[in-house]
Chain A
Amino acid sequence: MSFMDILALIVPAAIVSAAPLIFTALGGVFSERSGVVNIGLEGLMLFGAFTGAVTIYYGEQLGLNGAAPWVSFIVAMIVGAMLASIHALASITLKADQVVSGVALNFLAAGLAIFLTKKIFNAGQTPVISERISKSDIPFLSDIPLIGKLFFSNAYLTSYVAVGVALIVWYVLYKTPFGLRLRSVGEHPMAADTMGINVTKVRYIGVLLSGALAGLGGAVYVASISGNFTHSTITGQGFMALAAMIFGKWHPLGALGAALFFGLAQAISISGSHIPFLQDIPKVFLLIAPYVLTILALAGLVGRADAPKALGTPYEKGKR
């Protein structure tokens, strides 16, 4: 097996694994940049996966065919934002501990999704969907020698959308007035308030956007990777996305890079047994690699990463 063959096996798989993480991590960027910790990404992603599976299933029945997954993405974004509004209400308006509220959100999403699955389908899982996002080559770009085969062939369209969304988020955060407001609210809410920015409103928008993107991440996971929803469809991807966001220093492009890196780690752990060099490493090391690397990265391997200053503290008007 030549080096190129190995790359051709791993790189497309990494891009596929990364897409749901990218969306969810970008959601995390919105929420945490506005100063609200969102441990609930896991739950939001899980509920997005459930919503995606159900919408695609009924979309198929209604004859939406190839459009069903795309419709499900929109529905999952709306439902994700609705679910995130609970976290927003608790942690912004009611000044609850944001980490606790996020943990509760994870419980709620897991309980509710499986409760509803059992109620709707009388089984612990949704039926397997047939309309998935299909793998395809990108015209022209896939003809480029070397890179074309690696990056632009045999991949899902959603993966490229994910990269595009990361660029859009970067633009919104750093080049628009709204982005400036969002970041200022996360760094120094009182100063932002003094300048006439509605801290509560901006934070709500941040959390709702995180819900929408995490919901999208979950639905993309179902439409491209898992094909249905069970209690074990989302086990830790949301936390991985959270880690990717921190790994990427709360920056959209950093989060994109980290998510791609985690995608690579996952792809290696899945297809490692086919690769000569990696065959001899016990699989467990490949499985725990992303988590160990995150810890090492946080411990200073990639330099200081400073969280938004007001992260985790509810804003109280007039309190210094």
Chain B
Amino acid sequence: MQNKNNKVKLLVPLFSVFLGLLIGGIIMLLSGYKPIEAYVALFQGMVGDPYFIGETIRQMSPLILSGLAVAFAFRTGLFNIGVEGQLLVGWLAAVYVGVTVDAPTIVHVPLAILAAAVAGALWGAVPGILKARFKVHEVITTIMMNYIALYSTNEIIRNFLLAPGERTENVKESASLASPFLQSITEYSTLHYGIIVALIAAVIMWFLLWRTTMGYELRAVGFNQHASQYAGINVSKNIVLSMAISGAFAGIAGSMEGLGTYQYMTINAAFTGVGFDGIAVALLGANSAIGVVLGAALFGGLKIGALNMQSIAGVPTELVGVVIALIIFFVACSYIVHWLMNRVSKGGKI
């Protein structure tokens, strides 16, 4: 039984990716592009040479973290659509520490990442408190908190951290995750040490959920609030805790952008989209740590490969957004996959 479940768990995402790419190909065909040429370019743009591999891995680190944030909340029965906002406040906090504090690297980098985690945790805790205390649905509050974060971080940069070019100063050398070594072995991609942080975070999430009492309680609340309450678990506390931890992961995702990829924060006219992609990554990864890493690898690769697809096959990068949306649809409708598999395994009968 366990074995069959695992097989389904693996088949649903694989089948969804296949269907997503298939329909994406049909859309390309209908709009007069060459799907095979485009997908070859997409694939080459993901892993075709060391430079593209470096870019794909770089893109993975914020995606892993935002995926972990969504997955962690999901595990405890909550839906965190606010990763985007938590990411923005985390980004700002990391850059603030990176710009204003003087410290040796060994202190500075962890301090900046910690600041991001705390900022994200606080931002995430607000919907948690509202849910626990006033029974306000977290989906709406997290969406609202995203907009508040977007406008507020912009205003703070404008008033306190502004440098020429509608952005903050670069973070100090000692707070930077940039790595000349990693760049040199990947033909000077923008790869940085963030991926190590992201992978450690994945291990932490796994450990927290599956090897600690706290994780047991969080998962119990996710399975059945009433039973947990009856068993003496403080449901309200766990809801707030879960949103705070989820927000912390999202905040660290922001520090990846602030300390690694950009080294600064821009005044954002719109959302980065990384937080929303985290939803897709978590779904595809079945809310498990290892699944999130694999999902982030796929989506990171698709995003980077899309640029190559546009320059070689002329297909607008937005097609990848469409494919990702379709993949989420199919994962959400895993019912189809179960149904199809049942049909096959029972010899054509339902």
Give the interface of A toward B (CB within 8 A): 37, 39, 86, 90, 94-97, 99-101, 103-108, 110-112, 114-116, 118-119, 231-232, 235-236, 239, 242-243, 246, 282-284, 287-288, 291-292, 294-295, 298-300, 307
In contact, A96 and B333 (Cβ under 8 angstroms): yes
If A94-B335, A103-B276, A115-B322 touch, whether A291 touches B144 (CB-CB below 8 Å) is yes
Shortest B264–chain A CB gap in Å is 20
When distances are taken between beta carbons in the complex, the residues of chain B under 8 Å from A239 are 143-144, 147
In contact, B321 and A299 (Cβ under 8 angstroms): no
Q: List 24 A-B contacts (CB under 8 A).
A: A95-B335, A96-B333, A96-B334, A100-B332, A104-B326, A104-B328, A104-B329, A108-B329, A111-B318, A112-B318, A114-B321, A115-B322, A118-B316, A118-B318, A243-B143, A282-B155, A284-B154, A284-B155, A288-B147, A291-B148, A295-B141, A295-B144, A299-B134, A300-B134
Q: Roughly how many angstroms separate A10 CA and B79 CA in the complex, as a whole number? A: 37
Give the interface of B toward A (CB within 8 A): 27, 31-32, 79, 81, 130, 133-134, 136-137, 139-141, 143-145, 147-148, 151-152, 154-155, 269-270, 276, 279-280, 283, 316, 318-322, 324-326, 328-329, 331-336
In contact, B130 and A94 (Cβ under 8 angstroms): no
In contact, A232 and B151 (Cβ under 8 angstroms): no
In contact, A119 and B31 (Cβ under 8 angstroms): yes
If A99-B79, A108-B326, A298-B134 touch, whether A287 touches B336 (CB-CB below 8 Å) is no
* Other A-B pairs beyond A107-B328, A300-B134, 16, CB < 8 Å: A39-B81, A94-B335, A97-B332, A100-B279, A104-B329, A110-B321, A111-B320, A118-B318, A239-B144, A284-B155, A288-B148, A291-B144, A294-B140, A295-B130, A295-B141, A299-B136
For the residues of A in contact with B, the DSSP-based class is helix
Candidate in B143, B325, B326 with the most chain A CB atoms within 10 angstroms: B325
3 nearest CB pairs, A to B: A111-B321, A107-B325, A108-B325
Contact of B152 among A105, A232, A236, A284 (CB under 8 A): A284
Chain A residue nearest in CB terms to B134: A299
Q: Roughly how many angstroms separate A97 CA and B70 CA in the complex, as a whole number? A: 15
Candidate in B130, B145, B148 with the most chain A CB atoms within 10 angstroms: B148
Chain A residue nearest in CB terms to B144: A291
Chain A residue nearest in CB terms to B147: A291
Chain A residue nearest in CB terms to B336: A94
Q: Roughly how many angstroms separate A273 CA and B104 CA in the complex, as a whole number? A: 45
Q: Roughly how many angstroms separate A35 CA and B121 CA in the complex, as a whole number? A: 32
Shortest B48–chain A CB gap in Å is 23
Shortest A50–chain B CB gap in Å is 12
Q: Roughly how many angstroms separate A231 CA and B316 CA in the complex, as a whole number? A: 13
Shortest A306–chain B CB gap in Å is 10
In contact, B130 and A298 (Cβ under 8 angstroms): yes
Q: Roughly how many angstroms separate A291 CA and B152 CA in the complex, as a whole number? A: 12
When distances are taken between beta carbons in the complex, the residues of chain B under 8 Å from A307 are 137
In contact, A107 and B151 (Cβ under 8 angstroms): no
If A104-B329, A112-B322 touch, whether A298 touches B141 (CB-CB below 8 Å) is yes
In contact, A86 and B322 (Cβ under 8 angstroms): no
When distances are taken between beta carbons in the complex, the residues of chain B under 8 Å from A90 are 329, 332-333
If A108-B322, A115-B318 touch, whether A96 touches B335 (CB-CB below 8 Å) is yes
Q: Roughly how many angstroms separate A94 CA and B325 CA in the complex, as a whole number? A: 16
In contact, A232 and B270 (Cβ under 8 angstroms): yes
When distances are taken between beta carbons in the complex, the residues of chain B under 8 Å from A236 are 147
In contact, B81 and A103 (Cβ under 8 angstroms): yes
Q: Roughly how many angstroms separate A105 CA and B325 CA in the complex, as a whole number? A: 7
Q: Roughly how many angstroms separate A298 CA and B133 CA in the complex, as a whole number? A: 12
When distances are taken between beta carbons in the complex, the residues of chain A under 8 Å from B137 are 298, 307
In contact, A114 and B318 (Cβ under 8 angstroms): yes
Q: Roughly how many angstroms separate A105 CA and B324 CA in the complex, as a whole number? A: 11
In contact, B276 and A100 (Cβ under 8 angstroms): no
When distances are taken between beta carbons in the complex, the residues of chain B under 8 Å from A95 are 333, 335
Chain B residue nearest in CB terms to A239: B143
In contact, B144 and A294 (Cβ under 8 angstroms): yes
In contact, A243 and B140 (Cβ under 8 angstroms): yes
When distances are taken between beta carbons in the complex, the residues of chain A under 8 Å from B325 are 104-108, 111
In contact, B318 and A104 (Cβ under 8 angstroms): no
Q: Roughly how many angstroms separate A122 CA and B148 CA in the complex, as a whole number? A: 34
In contact, B324 and A107 (Cβ under 8 angstroms): yes
Candidate in A90, A107, A243 with the most chain B CB atoms within 10 angstroms: A107
